[in-house]
Amino acid sequence: MEIILIFPGQRTIKRPTNKERTAIMKGNTKVIERLNARLADELTAINQYMVHSEMCANWGYAKLHAVIEKRAINEMKHAEKLIGRILFLEGRPVVSILNKISIGAKVEDQHARDWQAENDAVKAYNDDIRFAAESGDNGTRDMLTDILKDEEDHINWIEEQLDQIAQLGVQNYLVEQMH
Protein backbone atom coordinates (compact mmCIF):
# COMPACT_ATOMS: atom_id res chain seq x y z
CA MET A 1 0.00 0.00 0.00
CA GLU A 2 1.37 3.39 -0.97
CA ILE A 3 0.54 6.47 1.08
CA ILE A 4 0.93 9.96 -0.32
CA LEU A 5 1.18 12.94 1.99
CA ILE A 6 0.19 16.38 0.68
CA PHE A 7 0.89 19.57 2.59
CA PRO A 8 -0.59 22.93 1.61
CA GLY A 9 1.80 24.86 -0.63
CA GLN A 10 4.13 21.86 -1.10
CA ARG A 11 4.73 19.27 -3.73
CA THR A 12 3.39 15.78 -3.35
CA ILE A 13 5.68 13.68 -1.13
CA LYS A 14 5.74 9.94 -1.48
CA ARG A 15 6.21 8.01 1.73
CA PRO A 16 8.73 5.16 1.30
CA THR A 17 7.35 1.64 1.43
CA ASN A 18 8.63 -0.78 4.06
CA LYS A 19 10.76 -2.48 1.43
CA GLU A 20 12.28 0.85 0.34
CA ARG A 21 12.88 1.91 3.96
CA THR A 22 14.59 -1.40 4.74
CA ALA A 23 16.84 -1.03 1.70
CA ILE A 24 17.86 2.47 2.82
CA MET A 25 18.41 1.70 6.53
CA LYS A 26 19.80 -1.83 6.51
CA GLY A 27 23.52 -1.78 7.18
CA ASN A 28 26.32 -3.64 5.50
CA THR A 29 26.58 -7.05 7.22
CA LYS A 30 30.40 -6.84 7.28
CA VAL A 31 30.22 -3.43 9.00
CA ILE A 32 27.79 -4.88 11.57
CA GLU A 33 30.13 -7.85 12.14
CA ARG A 34 33.01 -5.46 12.76
CA LEU A 35 30.89 -3.36 15.13
CA ASN A 36 30.05 -6.51 17.08
CA ALA A 37 33.77 -7.37 17.25
CA ARG A 38 34.48 -3.91 18.69
CA LEU A 39 31.57 -4.40 21.09
CA ALA A 40 33.20 -7.60 22.37
CA ASP A 41 36.46 -5.66 22.82
CA GLU A 42 34.70 -2.91 24.79
CA LEU A 43 32.78 -5.36 26.98
CA THR A 44 36.04 -7.20 27.71
CA ALA A 45 37.79 -3.94 28.56
CA ILE A 46 34.98 -2.95 30.94
CA ASN A 47 35.44 -6.18 32.89
CA GLN A 48 39.23 -5.99 32.92
CA TYR A 49 39.27 -2.35 34.04
CA MET A 50 36.65 -2.88 36.74
CA VAL A 51 38.67 -5.74 38.22
CA HIS A 52 41.85 -3.65 38.10
CA SER A 53 40.03 -0.68 39.63
CA GLU A 54 38.67 -2.75 42.50
CA MET A 55 42.06 -4.37 43.09
CA CYS A 56 43.58 -0.89 43.38
CA ALA A 57 40.83 0.14 45.81
CA ASN A 58 41.49 -2.98 47.86
CA TRP A 59 45.22 -2.12 48.02
CA GLY A 60 44.44 1.45 49.11
CA TYR A 61 45.39 3.19 45.85
CA ALA A 62 42.43 5.56 45.75
CA LYS A 63 43.72 7.70 42.86
CA LEU A 64 44.27 4.71 40.59
CA HIS A 65 40.93 3.22 41.60
CA ALA A 66 39.09 6.40 40.59
CA VAL A 67 40.89 6.87 37.26
CA ILE A 68 40.61 3.24 36.17
CA GLU A 69 36.95 3.10 37.21
CA LYS A 70 36.32 6.23 35.13
CA ARG A 71 38.02 4.55 32.14
CA ALA A 72 35.74 1.51 32.59
CA ILE A 73 32.71 3.80 32.54
CA ASN A 74 34.05 5.46 29.39
CA GLU A 75 34.28 2.00 27.80
CA MET A 76 30.64 1.41 28.82
CA LYS A 77 29.71 4.53 26.88
CA HIS A 78 31.59 3.18 23.88
CA ALA A 79 29.66 -0.10 24.16
CA GLU A 80 26.41 1.86 24.33
CA LYS A 81 27.31 3.78 21.14
CA LEU A 82 28.22 0.55 19.35
CA ILE A 83 24.96 -1.11 20.40
CA GLY A 84 22.99 1.92 19.24
CA ARG A 85 24.73 1.95 15.87
CA ILE A 86 24.25 -1.80 15.35
CA LEU A 87 20.54 -1.41 16.07
CA PHE A 88 20.31 1.63 13.78
CA LEU A 89 21.83 -0.49 11.00
CA GLU A 90 19.18 -3.13 11.80
CA GLY A 91 21.72 -5.59 13.13
CA ARG A 92 21.67 -7.61 16.31
CA PRO A 93 24.14 -6.58 19.03
CA VAL A 94 26.00 -9.57 20.46
CA VAL A 95 26.65 -8.91 24.15
CA SER A 96 27.31 -12.49 25.20
CA ILE A 97 30.84 -12.75 23.76
CA LEU A 98 33.90 -11.59 25.67
CA ASN A 99 37.51 -11.86 24.64
CA LYS A 100 40.20 -13.11 27.02
CA ILE A 101 40.44 -10.85 30.07
CA SER A 102 44.02 -10.18 31.15
CA ILE A 103 44.31 -9.33 34.86
CA GLY A 104 47.58 -8.02 36.28
CA ALA A 105 48.70 -9.17 39.73
CA LYS A 106 50.60 -5.91 40.37
CA VAL A 107 49.83 -2.32 39.37
CA GLU A 108 52.63 -2.17 36.79
CA ASP A 109 51.36 -5.41 35.24
CA GLN A 110 47.84 -3.98 35.14
CA HIS A 111 49.09 -0.91 33.29
CA ALA A 112 51.01 -3.09 30.82
CA ARG A 113 47.97 -5.29 30.15
CA ASP A 114 45.64 -2.32 29.85
CA TRP A 115 48.10 -0.68 27.43
CA GLN A 116 48.04 -3.83 25.29
CA ALA A 117 44.23 -3.87 25.26
CA GLU A 118 44.09 -0.19 24.27
CA ASN A 119 46.81 -0.60 21.62
CA ASP A 120 44.91 -3.53 20.08
CA ALA A 121 41.74 -1.42 20.16
CA VAL A 122 43.43 1.49 18.36
CA LYS A 123 44.61 -0.84 15.59
CA ALA A 124 41.15 -2.41 15.25
CA TYR A 125 39.34 0.95 15.25
CA ASN A 126 41.68 2.29 12.57
CA ASP A 127 41.01 -0.78 10.39
CA ASP A 128 37.27 -0.49 10.94
CA ILE A 129 37.26 3.25 10.19
CA ARG A 130 38.91 2.53 6.84
CA PHE A 131 36.44 -0.30 6.15
CA ALA A 132 33.41 1.83 7.03
CA ALA A 133 34.63 4.63 4.76
CA GLU A 134 35.29 2.21 1.90
CA SER A 135 31.79 0.80 2.44
CA GLY A 136 30.26 4.27 2.19
CA ASP A 137 29.09 4.21 5.83
CA ASN A 138 30.25 7.63 6.96
CA GLY A 139 28.01 7.66 10.03
CA THR A 140 29.75 4.57 11.37
CA ARG A 141 33.14 5.99 10.36
CA ASP A 142 32.47 9.18 12.34
CA MET A 143 31.31 7.29 15.44
CA LEU A 144 34.34 4.99 15.34
CA THR A 145 36.64 8.01 14.93
CA ASP A 146 35.20 9.56 18.10
CA ILE A 147 35.78 6.33 20.02
CA LEU A 148 39.31 6.06 18.58
CA LYS A 149 40.20 9.47 20.04
CA ASP A 150 39.17 8.25 23.51
CA GLU A 151 41.23 5.07 23.11
CA GLU A 152 44.28 7.14 22.14
CA ASP A 153 43.77 9.27 25.26
CA HIS A 154 43.66 6.08 27.34
CA ILE A 155 46.97 4.93 25.85
CA ASN A 156 48.54 8.31 26.56
CA TRP A 157 47.50 8.17 30.24
CA ILE A 158 48.78 4.60 30.66
CA GLU A 159 52.10 5.51 29.02
CA GLU A 160 52.43 8.45 31.43
CA GLN A 161 51.94 6.05 34.34
CA LEU A 162 54.51 3.59 32.99
CA ASP A 163 56.98 6.47 32.49
CA GLN A 164 56.42 7.60 36.08
CA ILE A 165 57.05 4.07 37.35
CA ALA A 166 60.28 3.92 35.33
CA GLN A 167 61.43 7.33 36.57
CA LEU A 168 60.30 7.21 40.20
CA GLY A 169 60.40 3.50 40.93
CA VAL A 170 57.26 1.53 41.64
CA GLN A 171 57.24 2.20 45.42
CA ASN A 172 57.43 5.99 45.02
CA TYR A 173 54.81 5.85 42.27
CA LEU A 174 52.44 3.82 44.45
CA VAL A 175 52.83 6.17 47.42
CA GLU A 176 51.50 8.94 45.15
CA GLN A 177 48.46 6.83 44.28
CA MET A 178 47.25 6.51 47.87
CA HIS A 179 45.86 10.03 48.28
pLDDT at residue 179 in the model: 78
Is-contact 144 128, C-beta < 8 A?
yes
Cα dihedral across residues 67, 114, 116, 110: positive or negative: positive
Is-contact 42 79, C-beta < 8 A?
yes
Distances in whole angstroms, Cα of residue 138 to Cα of each of 59, 129, 133 = 45, 9, 6
pLDDT tens-digit profile of 35-66?
999 999 999 999 999 999 999 999 999 999 99
pLDDT at residue 63 in the model: 97
- DSSP string over the chain: ---EE--TTS--EEPPPHHHHHHHHPPPHHHHHHHHHHHHHHHHHHHHHHHHHHHHHHHT-HHHHHHHHHHHHHHHHHHHHHHHHHHHTT-----S--------SSHHHHHHHHHHHHHHHHHHHHHHHHHHHHTT-HHHHHHHHHHHHHHHHHHHHHHHHHHHHHHH-HHHHHHHT--
Distances in whole angstroms, Cα of residue 84 to Cα of each of 22, 36, 79 = 17, 11, 9
Domain spans of the chain, in order of start: 28-176
Rounded distance between C-alpha atoms, residue 108 and residue 114, angstroms: 10
Is-contact 107 170, C-beta < 8 A?
yes
The yes/no answer on whether domain 28-176 falls in CATH 1.20.1260.10 is yes
Mean pLDDT by runs of 10 across the 179 residues of the chain is 57 60 71 98 98 98 98 98 98 96 98 98 98 97 98 98 97 94
Rounded distance between C-alpha atoms, residue 155 and residue 117, angstroms: 9
pLDDT at residue 175 in the model: 96
